[in-house]
Amino acid sequence: MSEANRNISILCIGAGYVGGPTMAVIASKCPDVKVTVVDINPERIARWNSDHLPIYEPGLDDVVRSARGRNLFFGTDIVAGIQEADIIFVSVNTPTKMFGTGNGMAADLQYWEKTARQIRECARTPKIVVEKSTLPVKTAQAMKRILDAGNHQNRFTVLSNPEFLAEGSAVNDLENPDRVLIGSDATSEGLAARKKLVDIYARWVSRDRILTTNIWSSELSKLVSNAFLAQRISSINAISALCEKTDADISEVSKAVGMDSRLGSKFLNASIGFGGSCFKKDILNLVYLCRYYNLHEVADYWEGVVRINEYQKERFVVNMLGNMFQTLSGKKICLLGFAFKAHTGDTRESPGIFIARRLMEEQAELIVTDPEAIENARQDLAGAQGNIRYTEDPYEAADGSDAIALITEWPQYASLDFERIFRSMVQPAFIFDGRNILDHQRLYEIGFNVFPIGKPALTHFHDEPDMTA
């Protein structure tokens, strides 16, 4: 470890899903480095300083507790933070722009630009500024231009260090990353700044996993990694539709395909579609970038990944409608899970939001259950018209319902007492397993009509014509 990194002070602007856990792990691994996390949202900061952290992430409580007050601090004084820090991570939100040019596609960089300007105005000493939020390629250049405007020439060195953590496994991903990517320019300041950051990560990550590249490659690699992951899900989901028509079984197909070591078995679970704050946003960002450079064929190709995802969510609802005798009006439907994936309370871009809204359009009554995401689900569906209730208890949620739609693959849902649930439901009882985690044969034997993704349905209606065809 480089001695130069002792007593270094790190600031992270943005205490969200990325900034909070990343800084907590850096602080826990580098006890002599002071790490401060600031945010414009005082409530969020208050929660980071409390026993109820603002995000649910397995293992995070322990990591925060081990370092908070020692060398990890959460606060709202952004100006003081900037002045004190040697290295500033920028981890503010960059949602998809919902207005003007690039509406629904490009990244909305207003929060990011405000931060860049604030750093420029407040800094009194040289700073290394690290892009942590996922940003469009060439943002580092824009950041450098903002930082260097006026009389502040050469006091700022910009690095790109994209985050690859996945929610639900963030602590493990940060502690044992597949790789850490650091992009810099090739000037002597760029290389020196890069070395400083490499030396921090090298405290717990082996150096052969710390990849250094030019700054554009680093920015682009983040978008491309997410696009490739999402593409695998859309590929398997597209094939799940074909399986349902041909009596092939998507789990068998996925296993057979994934055993090819060139392809690998991960990210081949068919589902109701991917959610989360990154995949859609990053692909749309990539699409926008391709269109900007007139690469329309490339843009169309990646846009197809998002289109299949929308199709998969809609297909799930149409399948429910078709199999429940073409009407959901007044029927009670239990949404089993609402988070965009298991082990997180995050619901951003959760397929649950789309499915809930569509079911309400069909005038179904909803009861939503989730062990961690009820608070977020309430906010997501706050403006929706219709009858909707929330409970953390899955048995209460299923009680009196016509159908269960499994949205999130919480492992505890696989071991629920489905005999009890079946007895409490309206008959005929339907279950739509949007994640293929339940024992379908057993559910069928209990008496359910079972509709997995990409597998033959198991129904007790032997004379039923296929109404979804």
Query: Given the DSSP bridges, would you call strands 210-214 and 72-75 parallel, antiparallel or unpaired?
Result: unpaired
**Separation in Å, CA 27 to CA 2, 23, 37, 69:** 17, 6, 11, 11
Nearest residue (CB) to ligand ADP, 133 versus 347: 133
Q: Which residues pair with 129 in a beta bridge?
A: 88, 158
> Can you tell me the distance from the alpha carbon of 428 to that of 437, in angstroms, rounded to the nearest whole number?
22
Question: Which has the closest alpha carbon to 237: 296, 309, 323?
Answer: 309
Footprint of ligand ADP on residues 415-454 (CB under 6 A)?
A: none
Q: How far is the CB of 331 from ligand UDX (least distance, A)?
A: 26
Binding status of residue 224 toward ligand UDX by CB under 6 A: no
Contact 61, 52 (CB under 8 A): no
Q: Using the rule CB under 6 A, is 340 a contact of ligand UDX? A: yes
The 96-135 contact track toward ligand ADP, x by CB under 6 A, reads ---------------x--xx-----------------x--
* Neighbour-count burial of 251, counting CB atoms closer than 10 A to its CB (0-12 exposed, 13-18 middle, 19+ buried): middle
Residue 424's closest CA among 398, 386, 403, 443?
398
Q: Which span sits near ligand UDX by CB under 6 A: 1-9, 210-218, 261-269, 423-431?
A: 261-269
Question: Is 18 one of the binding residues for ligand ADP (CB under 6 A)?
Answer: yes
Q: What is the CA radius of gyration of the chain?
A: 24
The reply on whether position 344 binds ligand ADP by CB under 6 A is no
Q: Which of 75, 76, 118, 164 binds ligand UDX (CB under 6 A)?
A: 164
Q: Does 107 bind ligand UDX (CB under 6 A)?
A: no
Q: Which of 271, 323, 376, 401 binds ligand UDX (CB under 6 A)?
A: 271
Amino acid at 290: C
Single residue of 20, 21, 102, 276 touching ligand UDX by CB under 6 A: 276
The owner of tokens 């505890």 is 412
The correct pick among 33, 147, 233, 250 for binding ligand UDX (CB under 6 A) is 233
Instruction: Choose from ligand ADP, ligand UDX, none: what does 13 bind? Cβ within 5-8 Å by kind.
Output: ligand ADP
Angstrom CA distances, 440 to 107, 236, 352, 431, stand at 41, 20, 21, 9
Cβ distance to ligand UDX smaller for residue 315 or 341: 341
CB atoms within 10 A of CB 105: 21
Identify which range of 87-95, 321-329, 353-361, 365-373 contacts ligand ADP by CB under 6 A: 87-95
- Cα 336 to Cα 315: distance, rounded to the nearest angstrom: 18
| Near ligand ADP by CB under 6 A: residue from 8, 12, 13, 63 | 13
Per CB under 6 A, 274 contacts ligand UDX: yes
Q: What are 133's two structure tokens?
A: 């939020």
Beta strands of 230-304 (E only): which ranges?
A: none
Question: What is the per-residue binding string for ligand UDX in 118-157, x denoting contact by CB under 6 A?
Answer: ----------------------------------------
Q: Report how far residue 439's alpha carbon sits from residue 419's, in angstroms, rounded to the nearest whole number.
A: 12
Only one residue has tokens 């009890």, namely 420
Q: Are 432 and 403 in contact (CB under 8 A)?
A: yes
Distance separating alpha carbons of residues 63 and 57, to the nearest angstrom: 11
With contacts defined by CB under 6 A, how many residues of the chain interact with ligand ADP?
20
Residue pointed to by tokens 């009820």: 374
Q: Which of 82, 129, 268, 306 binds ligand UDX (CB under 6 A)?
A: 268
Which residue, 18 or 367, is less far from ligand ADP as judged by CB? 18
Active site residues: 278
Residue 421's CB is within 10 A of a number of other CB atoms, namely: 23
Residue 91 in the binding site for ligand ADP (CB under 6 A): yes
Q: Among ligand UDX, ligand ADP, none, what does residue 165 contact (CB within 5–8 Å per kind)?
A: ligand UDX
Residue 187 is a binding residue for ligand ADP (CB under 6 A) = no
Element (H, E) at 180: strand 180-184
Paired residues of 180 in beta bridges: 210
Q: Which residue is nearest to ligand UDX (CB)?
A: 276
The listed partner (ligand UDX, ligand ADP, none) that binds 39, CB under 5 to 8 Å by sort, is ligand ADP
Question: Which of 353, 285, 364 has its CA nearest to residue 321?
Answer: 364
Question: 299-318: which residues touch ligand UDX (CB under 6 A)?
Answer: none
Indicate the residue among 41 and 427 with the shorter CB distance to ligand ADP: 41
Question: Which residues of this chain interact with ligand ADP, rule CB under 6 A?
Answer: 13-19, 39-41, 44, 78, 91-93, 111, 114-115, 133, 277
**Residues contributing to the site for ligand UDX (CB under 6 A):** 163-167, 226, 229, 233, 267-269, 271, 274-276, 278-279, 340-341
